[in-house]
Amino acid sequence: MGNLGEKLLEDRIERCPFCGFEDGEVRFLPGGGRYYYVYCNCCECRGPTCPTKVKAVDAWNESFQELLAYIDRLEDKTAYDNESLEKLYGRPRGLRSDAVSVAQTED
């Protein structure tokens, strides 16, 4: 790949899924065969090893998108209010049905 191709490929690299750093780079995995991975110069994590540079960037970007989707799912779960949680999981043991919450007693 020429210098222009390398630059275009590195421009496609998404931020690091762990630290958010925006300047990852494609590296060659020394040893056995020819494998590449994307490396974060900030937190030193690395993406999946792949047989081509393009596949390494694609795998890195896919893992970034998967992490964002996972975070969104976690945020959705924590957004439930107590009533929604009670509907999903039932009333916690030890909580009386006539118990009044602190928020309801304040004026």
What 3-state DSSP class applies to 57?
helix
Query: Which one-letter DSSP state was computed for residue 12?
Result: T
Q: How far apart are CA 48 and CA 57, in angstroms?
A: 9
From 68, 26, 20, 75, select the one nearest 47 (Cα to Cα): 26
Full-prediction pTM beyond 0.85?
no
Partners of 25 in the β-ladder: 39
The ranges assigned to domains in the chain are 3-91
Dihedral angle of Cα 83, 87, 89, 95, to the nearest 10 degrees: 50
Tokens 């602190």 sit at which residue? 102
Over residues 10-58, the pLDDT tens digits come to: 888 998 878 888 889 999 988 767 899 999 999 998 898 999 999 999 9
Over residues 81-104, the pLDDT tens digits come to: 566 656 666 655 554 555 444 444
